[in-house]
Chains A and B, each alone.
Chain A
Amino acid sequence: MKQIKSVNDFVIKFANVNGTGSASANNMFAKALFRMGLPVSPKNIFPSNIQGLPTWYEVRVSEKGYLGRRGGIDIALSVNPQSMAQDIQEVEPGGYFIYDNTKPLDLRLIRDDVNIIGIPLTRICNEEYKDPRQRQLFKNVIYVGALAALLDMDFKVLTDLVADQFKGKEKLILPNIHALELGHQWASSNIECPIGIQVRQADAVGDKILLDGNTALGLGAIYGGATVAAWYPITPSTSVVDAFEKYARRVRIDPGTGRKNYAIVQAEDELSAIGMVIGASWNGARAFTATSGPGISLMSEFLGLAYFAEIPTVLFDVQRAGPSTGMPTRTQQSDILSTAYASHGDTKQVLLFPSTPKECFDFGALSFDLAERLQTPIILMTDLDLGMNDNMSEPLAWDEGRRYDRGKVMTAEQLEAGVEFGRYLDVDGDAITYRTYPGTHPERGSFFTRGTSRDEQAVYTEKGEEYEKNMLRLMRKWDTIKQYVPEPEVISAKQKTDDAVLYFGTSEEASREALDELAGRDGVHMDAMRVRAFPFNDDVKQFIEDHQQVFVIEQNRDAQLRTLLMAEFEFGPDKLKSVLCFDGTPISARNIRKQIKQYLEEGAPKPLHLTKITSSAGESA
């Protein structure tokens, strides 16, 4: 039978039952490969449930450094009978299906093009352990030990990792190492090891780190000087505030008094959470909230107030699959339009699109500078894939000399000296006006903040010309904003081409790999642009104008970024083509390549809803 043979390049998918402690064992496996110098990209595909439902953990291993999903599964490790039928179907021909053969495999599931390997995990556990919880937990560690033998992994990396992970809980180290050895020994003495897929020590990760985007965002808020966090729990954003709190407890306790240099309020709902952020920011503190799609819907009214009254606001949106409750534990980039034009009336909101944990940290900290400089909401758009999965990333760094940009705030001294103050008076010509913090000066500088129309002195008015003047100034401010937000990144093809792709956020890695494949295997060369913010600056317009067709790659059904590009630049739909994935799993390189090839070979496809539905998750090479 055909056996996939590869070194340092494969996809393995673990199929587990959630609530059984599998995630930490799977994570140990991924981290061990990372420590062997191999780029890894683990993706936790989990249900909206605490215990009992199927959960998967997919690890891409690529010495070449591709970190997106490739598509297809080379090794399935199945310890969940509920999902076994599906799991074996996903294995590539010649791939490996490893399962717990304590109970025999249902004969109907057997595929003759897949290498089937049975390990009696339950039996080994039952013989070794008496306590049911131990049986459950160590089963996971045992299969990691077995994998080490099957893939010819350096066993010492695993044992060192266990020692590191349980630092401070030393009595857990030996039992875990013992479980690893149980698996390793069983596999070595009962199966021909290694199999066709193997790993070797490599040198492909440099000084990179393995970190989830939400933790990076929490750290960005710490470094960016946030003192007030207000939030309402919602998957997949909860761990942003968890991380902020974890680090705040370490570094934000006043050494003299033991009191906190931060305040975290768990609000009664998302409306209240954003209201608190607006109140705190209005009063001169750096504040943020984190949420996901349903929270964005609830926060929209307040986002309109912050836009119109020009109050700095920092909002982290960790996107998940919508609409409504959608698939709460699956990823999408589907809040683009609902955030870009959030709230009723004419509004435009600033969006930032990070692609890596490093960018989550950098943009997270930057959000506070931008919000105060531009006096408007800054909505950082990440997603479940980036936020909750460990992603390989450049290390985090902070320039010690960096000072916060607190924006245009008039001081008591300036007011005392008689400097003219009008809250909405554009004195610098950049359409950004001065504000004062409440309590600044006994006689001067107070103003009334309101969501109603007002004049340059913040006095209520219903005069059409005053309203219009203000709305046009906000448009001029929009132009100013373009100079401040992160500029797009351009990657030129090796040869001149009229075709291009445009993507953002977590579509980056899979897009990069798809472009390499298109160039290398299909001879199709394409320039690429990664958009990092909205408003789009002129480089984006120029890039699209410079190409005949631009494929806009995104993870939603309605091509939301493409819609935004058409709305902002008035490009026709013919110029911008859509490459989409919205099944809730991260977009894969094979999927992107397949869709682009279809366009090039067969022309524009029929609209998706008129073609035969095939999930983009299980596509093959």
Chain B
Amino acid sequence: MSYQIPKFRHPQLPVNALGYTKADYEGSISTLCAGCGHDSISGSIVRACHELSIEPHKIAKLSGIGCSSKAPTYFLGKSHGFNSVHGRMPSVVTGAAMANRDLIYLGVSGDGDTASIGMGQFAHVARRNLNMVYIVMNNGCYGLTKGQDSATADEGSVSKKGDANMYSAIDLCATALQMGATFVARSFSGDKEQLVPLIKAAISHRGFALIDVVSPCVTFNNNPGSTKSYEFVREHAEATGTVDFVPMQKEITTAYEPGSSHEVTLHDGSSIHLYKMDEDLDPFDRTSALINMEKHRTAGDILTGLIYLNKDSRDLHDVMETTRRPLNTLTEDDLCPGNQMLKNINDSLR
């Protein structure tokens, strides 16, 4: 096994609008297990960022603790990263986003990091509608500590040890919706065609965008009886529809049958097209989204794709009416009121 990514690249790798190849968005070589779903998600993030022509340094990637939270090392090597403490990534992102509203914030977490130790922070970052992408690499188990069930493991799902999980599963998409998230999607690490446009749309969305990605753990939770195994997810994933992401100012070339698609313009001017949508699902309606998720859960399916989108989302900076200049660029001249004001304050205190 090699520990270094070879520097050699095909000379004619496609470049994006900035002149970067996909390799410019990669990180160091993964130390996760061979076949880990998380690596596929990293690959999708690389592809989405490359295709969106994002300047790599304009993204900050932050994570908590766990296998998932190690993943940011393995993509976007030219971006600043922050591997914080267990379950607390949302607060660190919140502070970072307050300091500089101009960067893209990509939070990466796992099911333990989000649904157990980090449940409080997850709920509150969703409710504040912080402008960030929150990707959960969800494998239903604790990998680094050798396979204990996590809080997203389905009731009755059997782990590698052979024990069936006794507890009710937390559905992170449903939770996020309840908490006020304005973009909620679920996907599967093995389905890049679905995941890549979702990541792009989540980046373009202004507000809190959750993508709960089922990402099988090949070492501890890929066995028969597990509801987070590759086989199970492939058999039970049911997409809400298909999402096409159209970047800003790009001509729409795909022909859709009339009445079959929704076009949604996102805050940055790009748009998404939803087609082949499940007739029952109105992704712009919270009630419909919740009912649909519940229906699929009862049927034992995994509903994937875009589940909910609030087109009128106002993010935390909008709500707080903070200045449009990043706060970290303000200087003494903007911030310090000077001695005369202190003299006035002193006078009022005598």
Contacts and interface: CB of A to CB of B under 8 A. Distances in A.
Contacts of B327: 227-228, 261-263, 280, 285
A222 B332 CA distance: 10
Given A259-B321, A279-B91, A285 B339 contact: no
A251 interface: yes
B84 A275 contact: yes
B120 interface: yes
B332 A451 contact: no
Nearest to B81: A448
B338 A398 contact: yes
A227 B328 contact: yes
Contacts of B100: 283-285, 437-439
Contacts of B79: 438, 446
Contacts of B341: 251
Interface stretch (A265-273, A492-500, A577-585): A265-273
Interface residues of A, number: 74
B94 A261 contact: no
B81 A265 contact: no
Interface in B297-339: 316-317, 320-324, 327-328, 330-332, 334-339
Contacts of B97: 279
B85 interface: yes
Contact of B337 (A209, A251, A275): A251
A212 to B, nearest CB: 10
B94 A279 contact: yes
A449 B81 contact: yes
A166 B342 CA distance: 22
Contacts of A395: 342-343, 346
Interface string A200-213: 00000001111100
A447 B345 contact: no
Interface residues of B, number: 61
Contact of A275 (B80, B88, B335): B88
Interface stretch (B7-15, B52-60, B136-144, B257-265): B52-60
A396 interface: yes
A277 B102 CA distance: 18
Contacts of A228: 95, 98-99, 327
Interface in B77-107: 77-85, 88, 90-100, 102-103
Interface string A336-359: 000000000000000000000000
A442 B79 CA distance: 8
B203 to A, nearest CB: 15
B122 to A, nearest CB: 10
B124 interface: yes
Given A251-B337, A272-B91, A438 B57 contact: yes
B98 A302 contact: no
B73 interface: yes
B94 A275 contact: yes
Contacts of B85: 275, 301-302, 305, 451
Nearest to A396: B342
A281 interface: yes
A269 B118 CA distance: 12
B99 A442 contact: no
B288 interface: no
Contacts of B324: 257, 259
B82 A449 contact: yes
Nearest to A451: B85
A208 B79 CA distance: 51
B34 interface: no
B270 interface: no
A437 B120 contact: no
B95 A283 contact: yes
Interface in A84-132: none
B121 interface: yes
A262 B321 CA distance: 9
A440 interface: yes
Contact of B58 (A254, A263, A398, A439): A439
Interface in A222-277: 222-223, 225, 227-228, 230, 247, 251-252, 254, 257-265, 267-269, 271-277
Given A276-B95, A282-B96, 14 more contacts: A34-B350, A223-B342, A261-B323, A261-B330, A267-B91, A281-B99, A285-B98, A301-B85, A302-B85, A403-B332, A437-B100, A438-B96, A439-B103, A446-B77
Interface of A: 34-35, 207-211, 219, 222-223, 225, 227-228, 230, 247, 251-252, 254, 257-265, 267-269, 271-285, 287, 301-302, 305, 395-400, 402-404, 436-443, 446-452, 460
22 contacts: A35-B350, A228-B327, A257-B324, A260-B320, A260-B321, A263-B320, A272-B124, A275-B95, A279-B91, A282-B95, A283-B60, A284-B328, A396-B345, A396-B346, A398-B336, A398-B339, A400-B339, A439-B102, A446-B56, A447-B80, A448-B72, A460-B73
